[in-house]
Each structure stands twice: as structure tokens, then as C-alpha cells.
Amino acid sequence: MLFGSNRTYIYLDNAATTPLCDAAAEAMAPYMKAAPDGTFGNANSLHSIGREAFSELEDARARVARALGAQRPDEIVFTSGATEADNAAIVGMALAERDRGRLRGNAASGRVVMSRIEHHAVLHSAAMLKRLGFEVDFVDNDASGHIGVEALERVMREDTVLVSIMAVNNEVGTVLDTAALAEAAHRHGALFHADAVQALGKIPFNVGALGVDAASFSSHKVGGPQGVGVMYLKTRTPFVAYMAGGGQERGMRSGTQNIAGILGCAAAVEHAVAFQPAFAERAAKLRDSLYQELCSLPKVSATVRLESGEFAPHIVNVCVSGMESQTMILQLDLRGFCVSGGSACSSNSLDPSHVLSALGVKRNLAQGSLRISFGEITDEADVASFVEAFKEVVS
């Protein structure tokens, strides 16, 4: 895949962000033009321009609900991204559950359980809950990031109000068993939230079928614009909104809606879900052949044990002993390849990522980790030329 106005790149960092897809760009176009050709409107205004924006907003909500498997459009709340969706869902559900407990005369402050391999948006939401008096505990994962129901059962307690476990890990691609984990949480009386950012469009993910109470999604990971996200919140799930203001999104997320972004997000989500099976089949072949090529080289090993369970089709993560991620990323960039080490959000740090630490990867090995992630237009030729550049860099 070639990109750039004055340079060509092969972009293999699709877990960090993806290029805008045609469907999203087309959906956004009318709202991105200046007057008098462009359209605009506050979806909360009563006049016809406002009502037109409102009708587009509600149509987008209904389409996203259908694509994600929600029962009703009003289970979809548009946010500024998955970071906000994670924060809102985790803090909002935990606070609401604590309020409910107190009404019933329960003095306990409440407890939240999550995995150690969550994105910082989830881990730092938990840190916020801790400051608000909640207890936060972690469920054990195996060396590839998988979490068994028994491991979750072991940490559940009567005062656990919420469990948050991601559907697909963003650094190494581990697929978690959302349906089984959600059911276990429910058996113990807790709500269940899944950060499904890296699952959408990559594995089947239907909120209704999986039985989650809440889930977070990000538009820019599936060909939509940056700065837009979706919080799925099942009807009647206890929730306290922390974004106070004009009461938009039925009071669950105040703030004038980003109509252009939401229309782009809806088009991208529909596209990603419709093409998920085809994408997964193609990407899994690229993943398997890339792992095979890279791991046949001296000093290179897969970060996770691929036979240990299910992994997402779009993520490859290897460790190169004796090398540093940053050096490899910059050397590959000079050769026209975009990849990352760990997650993009924490790539400025030289510390090994918290995910690799939680998998038990030794510090010196984790410092040489590289994540290669595929998108819709990644093809075999891209992967083959990456392998050649990688060989040059590590030799």
C-alpha cells in the first residue's frame, strides 16, 4: 500500500490508525464544504437545517446499532473516541452501581475487576475509580494474554460491580472469549464492559449475541475519521454521565454532536462489519506467512505463542533480541515502512509496554518488540517488501 504526497510509504500500522475509506469520505463530504455549497447544522436546533442534521444523526445511529447488533438505536452513544467511550462506560457504570448499592443500604464502596493487558484508556479509568474510593483488582492472563473463565471466577466477589475485559488486545492481537467472560461476570452479579476497538471489522463482534452490557469502539481504527467513537450501552444498564452540559445523546454524553465525524464513522462501521469475513480471511493468511518469515530469522521470535489460542488476523508482534524498537521503527521508516512498537499511544516511552510485562516477556526482549498491523489494502507484495527491509535492518 503506497501513501504520501511527496513520498511513498507502505503503511503497516493499522492498529494505530487507518486511512479514511471512500464510504466515510463520501458521507462526510457535504459537511466538510464551506457555505453556500456545504451543509451544516446543530442537530439540536429546531429549524429545518438543524432538523436535517438531527435526521442524519439518528439515521447514522440506527445504522451503527444494526451493524453492531444492538437491540435499539438509543443503545448507541456517540463520543469523541474510544478513550472517551472507555472512560464514560467504566466510570459511569461503576458510579451508578455504587449509588444503587447505597440506596439498598450497602455501605461497601464497590470493586471493579479488569485485565492487566487493557489499553491505558481502561487502566487509567480504573485509576480514577480508585481515587473515588473503589477497589480495583486484576484477573490473571496466560503468557499469550488469554483469560480463562476460571481465572475470572477466582477473583469475583460479592462487591464486584463491574468487569472490564477487552475483546482483542491491541499490541499482540490476543482474542478474548467475550461471551464466556461476560456470562461469568453476570453469574456473579457484575456488569460487563468490553473494549472492542481492535475487534470491530476484524473478528465477528455482535454486542447482542455476546451479551455485554457496554462496549467501546473507535471510528479511526476501521477507516472512519479520528476523534469519533461509539459507546454501546444496553438498555436499562445503570449509568451516570460524567460529561455534563446540554443533555445531548439523551443525557448520556452532553456536547453538540460532531455530525460530519458521526456520518463518517457510521459509513466506516457498516463497511468494516460487512467486509469483516473477507478481511479476516485475507489478513490471517498475511499474518501467518509474515510470522513464518520473520520467525525463521535468527534472534527473532513471536511475542505470543500462536498455538495457545485465538489471535486477531491483523496484528503481528515479534521481539528481536539485541535490538531496540525505536531504532527499528526509525530504520524501517527511512526505508518507507510504517510500523510501531507496542501501542502508538505509548510509543514515546523506552519502557517495555505494560502488556508485554503482563505477558511475562523479559524486559530486554520486550525492548525489541515490533508490531506490524494490516489494513484493508495491505497485500502480499507489501508484506514481501517489508520482510526484505526488516532483514536489512536486523542484520
Q: In what order do the strands lie in the sheet with 160-164?
A: 76-79, 229-233, 214-218, 191-195, 160-164, 111-115, 135-139
Cross-strand pairs, 168: 175
Q: Which is nearer to ligand PLP, 121 or 152 (CB)?
A: 121
CB of 367 to ligand PLP, least distance (A): 21
CB of 265 vs ligand PLP, minimal distance in Å: 10
CA distance 315 to 319: 14
Please report, as a single letter, which amino acid is at residue 284: A
Helical (H) or strand (E) element with 216: strand 214-218
Output 156 or 358, the one with its CB closest to ligand PLP: 358
Task: State the minimum distance, in angstroms, from the CB of residue 97 to ligand PLP.
Answer: 22
Separation between Cα atoms, residue 121 and residue 114, nearest integer Å? 12
Give yes or no: 265 in active site.
no
CB of 273 to ligand PLP, least distance (A): 17
What is d(CA 116, CA 119) in angstroms, rounded to the nearest whole number?
Answer: 9
Q: What are the C-alpha distances in Å from 378 to residues 4, 32, 150, 329?
A: 15, 28, 38, 18
Would you tell me which residues interact with ligand PLP (CB under 6 A)?
81-83, 86, 119, 121, 166, 170, 195, 197-198, 218, 229, 343, 345
Closest approach of Cβ 198 to ligand PLP, in Å?
5
CA 113 to chain centre: 19
Helix (H, G, I), strand (E, B) or coil at 23: helix
Catalytic annotation, residues: 345
